């Protein structure tokens, strides 16, 4: 499936992405912390700036020339050659079409082939069974459950 690609997130793409963003309740362990997302130009600028660090790569998930989500490789450690993958698609209209699966596969390819990682880790809150299913589908192995999270790892 070639309709999804990853590109490095730019400030402009980040604004386009977040203008139609919805927070997903599935990622909240404590639903008291959940609130519908409200776009703020200033907050997106702060968010984008905070991600520009050497231990992190922030990708836009692209479909038909538009950003429909973001994938991050974070806590990149070039000594141990490990990092952590996280993903969030823009809103419900783009979930459940295979795009998340495809984006995770592309991010893993980048982590292994471009960054030279030997292992990629991921975690999800326990109730997020959709994310767990997708992680396992792309090859992550379940490792453990701790403090409300399930931990996964894929080794090249």
Ligand X SMILES: CC(C)(COP(=O)(O)OP(=O)(O)OC[C@H]1O[C@@H](n2cnc3c(N)ncnc32)[C@H](O)[C@@H]1OP(=O)(O)O)[C@@H](O)C(=O)NCCC(=O)NCCS
Binding site for ligand X (CB under 6 A): 24, 26-27, 86-89, 95-101, 124, 128-131, 133-134, 137
| Whether 4 contacts 67, CB under 8 Å | no
Tell the smallest beta-carbon distance from residue 43 to ligand X (Å): 19
Closer to ligand X by CB, 13 or 89: give it: 89
Tell the smallest beta-carbon distance from residue 94 to ligand X (Å): 7
Closer to ligand X by CB, 67 or 100: give it: 100
Element (H, E) at 39: none
Tell the smallest beta-carbon distance from residue 120 to ligand X (Å): 13
| Whether 131 contacts 28, CB under 8 Å | no
Q: Which residue has the tokens 């996964």?
A: 152
Tell the smallest beta-carbon distance from residue 14 to ligand X (Å): 16
**How far does CA 119 lie from the centroid of its chain?**
16
Closer to ligand X by CB, 79 or 146: give it: 146
Closer to ligand X by CB, 45 or 93: give it: 93
**DSSP symbols for 52-107:** -STT-EEEEEEETTEEEEEEEEEEEETTTTEEEEEEEESSGGGTTSSHHHHHHHHH
| Whether 22 contacts 90, CB under 8 Å | yes
Tell the smallest beta-carbon distance from residue 28 to ligand X (Å): 10
Closer to ligand X by CB, 64 or 79: give it: 64
- Within a 10 A sphere around the Cβ of 115, how many other Cβ atoms? 14
């Amino acid at each position: 499936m070639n309709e999804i690609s990853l590109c490095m997130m730019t400030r402009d793409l980040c604004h386009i992405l977040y203008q139609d963003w919805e927070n997903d309740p599935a990622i909240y362990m404590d639903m008291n912390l959940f609130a519908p997302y409200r776009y703020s130009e200033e907050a997106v600028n702060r968010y984008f700036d905070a991600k520009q660090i050497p231990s992190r790569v922030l990708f836009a998930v692209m479909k038909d020339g538009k950003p429909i989500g973001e994938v991050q490789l974070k806590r990149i450690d070039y000594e141990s050659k490990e990092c952590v993958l996280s993903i969030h698609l823009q809103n419900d209209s783009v979930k459940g079409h295979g795009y998340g699966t495809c984006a995770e596969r592309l991010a893993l390819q980048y982590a292994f082939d471009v960054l030279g990682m030997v292992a990629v880790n991921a975690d999800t809150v326990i109730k997020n069974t959709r994310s767990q299913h997708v992680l396992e589908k792309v090859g992550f192995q379940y490792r453990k459950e701790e403090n409300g999270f399930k931990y996964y790892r894929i080794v090249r």
